[in-house]
Amino acid sequence: MVDQTGRIGMPRGNLPPLELHVPEPRFRPGDPVDYSWLDIPGAGELPRFDEACEARETMPATLGMVRVLDDKHRAVGPWDPRLDPETLRRILRTMALTRAFDDRMYRGQRQGKTSFYMKCTGEEAVSVAHAYALAGDDMVFPSYRQQGILIARDYPLVEMVNQIYSNRADRLKGRQLPIMYSARDYGFFTISGNLATQFPQAVGWAMASAIKGDTRIATSFVGEGSSAEGDFHAAMTFAAVYNTPVILNVVNNQWAISSFSGFAGAERSTFAARAVGYGIAGLRVDGNDALAVYAATQWAANRARANKGPTLIEHFTYRAEGHSTSDDPSAYRSAHEREEWPLGDPVMRLARHLIALGEWDDERHAAMDRQVAEEVKAAAKAAEKNGVLGHGFHHPFHTMFEDVFEELPWNLREQAEQAIREREAKWPDARGPGTGEEGEGA
Ligand SMILES: Cc1ncc(C[n+]2csc(CCOP(=O)(O)OP(=O)(O)O)c2C)c(N)n1
Ligand SMILES: [Mg+2]
């Protein structure tokens, strides 16, 4: 631009030079952590809105927070879903099983049994309580951190481990990154590494469900960092325009690998508040409170099923561990964050609630922990018989050219033949034991 004096790029008159704000996280490695700046509303404070209300009426719920469990471990307020103790114990056990599974698979990666793993430690309530509040045949479009939903739906752990180890029993034949499950028969859409693609896909699936006159709704998850992707906004627009029966979840765990939530907009507003701008109902939820997650999901599911429209749920939580096994969070954030996180640990909060009800105790908790660890160990051992990374027993090499086309096109057939020839020239013994070529999946 040329200014009035004809000079390029010079300040005009006495206007201040323009400047940008570059977000910076409050705490870096070694810093003491104080979360007193964080405004966490008390449990039970937020009114419960009618499930059929206008989207804009939910504005207070997008700035406040659905919270049920209070500091004394009681369930309080209008969002208490009033679950019976047996259901609470099942939710608790599923969260504990998810954590035990994560711990064992993390160790498996360190032992070289797989190349990659991602834990959801600290976020178990988000996926597990969400799954319990849905119908079993509602369709889930997850991100990579909702293994708790598969586990809540009783997907066999051994199948999960087979996929993680990319072994000969891996249903996905080693074609997906470890942990990127796909389970059509469990209403669990194929996980994609391309962030946020699942959001518009969920909306499209839910639109199709409505077009067919079906009663199943869809639900999808993105991280708060991924909400900066264009796909998030495309999904929100389609969901609002067609009053789509879908639940759109943003898991705000404060971090997107090494970028903090400020880079996705957290310094300006809540993620839930974006909903109202689109004409979508919004709820911000204490993501470490299983009862709050259950209640918010149930509210959104009832609303969607009654054709009252989509809901955006922000699950406010904390990523207690590294982003993945490839990450080292001590390089960019203070280790004290996890200890100081004001919303506590979701497993312990639900356990203490059950103890306060007289429906649980420390001995039963310890026994449960032993049981879930044994269950995971048995599944991992069974899967190891089908092979682990680098020790043979994977799907044969040539299968990577199969299953896409009913008949392999001539150009791919040529490529396949060439690849197999080159492989045989490079590794003449490649059909011997331990190379995977003898696997049962051949
Ligand atoms: C389109 C795209 N951009 C970047 C990446 C690399 N990437 C993978 S996970 C991730 C962080 C995502 O953070 P968030 O959405 O907050 O989810 P979280 O991992 O915290 O659950 C990034 C940048 C990717 N996989 N896809
Ligand atoms: Mg995140």
Please list the alpha-helical segments (H only) found in 341-428: 346-356, 362-384, 410-426
Task: Band the pLDDT of 11: cuts 50, 70, 90.
Answer: low
Q: How many CB atoms lie within 10 A of CB 402?
A: 13
Q: How many domains does the chain have?
A: 2
- Is 197 close to ligand 1, i.e. is its CB under 6 Å away? no
- Cα 257 → chain centroid: 14
Mean of pLDDT values over 428-442? 49
Examine the pLDDT at 1 and tell me if it is beyond 90: no
> CB burial class (10 A; 0-12, 13-18, 19+) of residue 410?
exposed
- Is 256 close to ligand 1, i.e. is its CB under 6 Å away? yes
Give tens-digit pLDDT for 312-357.
999 999 999 999 999 999 999 999 999 999 999 999 999 999 999 9
The answer to whether residue 345 is domain-embedded is yes
Which of 119, 144, 197, 226 should be mutated for ligand 1, with most atoms under 8 A from CB? 226
Nearest-CA residue for ligand 1 atom 18 is 223
The answer to whether residue 21 is domain-embedded is no
The answer to whether residue 422 is domain-embedded is yes
Three-class SS state of 314: strand
Give tens-digit pLDDT for 153-179.
999 999 999 999 999 999 999 999 999
Examine the pLDDT at 231 and tell me if it is beyond 60: yes
Which of 195, 198, 221, 325 should be mutated for ligand 1, with most atoms under 8 A from CB? 195
The answer to whether residue 61 is domain-embedded is yes
Same domain? 162 vs 237:
yes
Task: Band the pLDDT of 6: cuts 50, 70, 90.
Answer: low
Nearest CA among 168, 242, 167, 257 for reference residue 210: 242
CA–centroid distance, residue 387 to ligand 2 (Å): 32
- Is 226 close to ligand 1, i.e. is its CB under 6 Å away? yes
Terminal-residue alpha carbon distance, the chain: 65
CA–centroid distance, residue 210 to ligand 1 (Å): 30
Task: Please tell me the pTM assigned to this model.
Answer: 0.94
Q: Residue 218 sits in which domain range?
A: 55-384
Same domain? 186 vs 329:
yes
- Is 258 close to ligand 1, i.e. is its CB under 6 Å away? no
**% the chain with pLDDT above 90:** 89
Same domain? 364 vs 405:
no
- Is 315 close to ligand 1, i.e. is its CB under 6 Å away? no
Contact 181, 156 (CB under 8 A): no
Same domain? 268 vs 414:
no
**Confidence at residue 287, expressed as pLDDT on a 0 to 100 scale:** 99
Nearest-CA residue for ligand 1 atom 13 is 256
| Distances in whole angstroms, Cα of residue 172 to Cα of each of 176, 322, 375, 395 | 7, 26, 23, 10
Nearest-CA residue for ligand 1 atom 20 is 256
Same domain? 93 vs 196:
yes
- Is 195 close to ligand 1, i.e. is its CB under 6 Å away? yes
Same domain? 430 vs 332:
no
Counting from 1 in the atom list of ligand 1, the atom nearest the Cα of 261 is 16
Indicate left, alpha or beta for 63 from its phi (over 0: left) and psi (-120 to 50: alpha). alpha
| DSSP state at residue 312 | E
Contact 293, 287 (CB under 8 A): yes
- Is 159 close to ligand 1, i.e. is its CB under 6 Å away? no
Let me know how long the chain is: 442
Separation between Cα atoms, residue 163 and residue 287, nearest integer Å: 28
Task: Band the pLDDT of 432: cuts 50, 70, 90.
Answer: very low
Q: Domain holding 67: CATH number?
A: 3.40.50.970
